[in-house]
Amino acid sequence: MSSQKKLSAVLRELLKVLEEEKQVLIKSDAAALAAIVEKKNVLAGRIGEFKGMDFSGDRELKDLAEQIGLLQETNLLLTKQALSYQEQILKALAKNNTSRYSTYSSKGQMNGQKEVSIVDQSV
User: What confidence category does residue 114 fall into, taking pLDDT thresholds of 50, 70 and 90?
Assistant: low
pLDDT at position 97, please?
55
Q: Is the model more confident about 52 or about 107? A: 52
DSSP letter, residue 110: B
Residue 20 has pLDDT above 80, yes or no: yes
Q: Determine phi and psi for 110, rounding to 5 degrees.
A: -65, 135
- For the beta carbon of residue 67, count every other beta carbon within 10 angstroms: 16
Report the pLDDT averaged over residues 31-60. Answer: 88
pLDDT of residue 122: 61
Report which of residues 4 and 71 the model is more confident about: 71
Residue ranges of the domains in the chain?
A: 3-93
Segment 54-59 mean pLDDT: 83
Could you tell me which residue, 29 or 97, shows the higher pLDDT? 29
Position 42 scores a pLDDT of: 94
Q: Is the Cβ–Cβ distance between 98 and 120 less than 8 Å?
A: no
What's the whole-number mean pLDDT along residues 30-51? Answer: 90
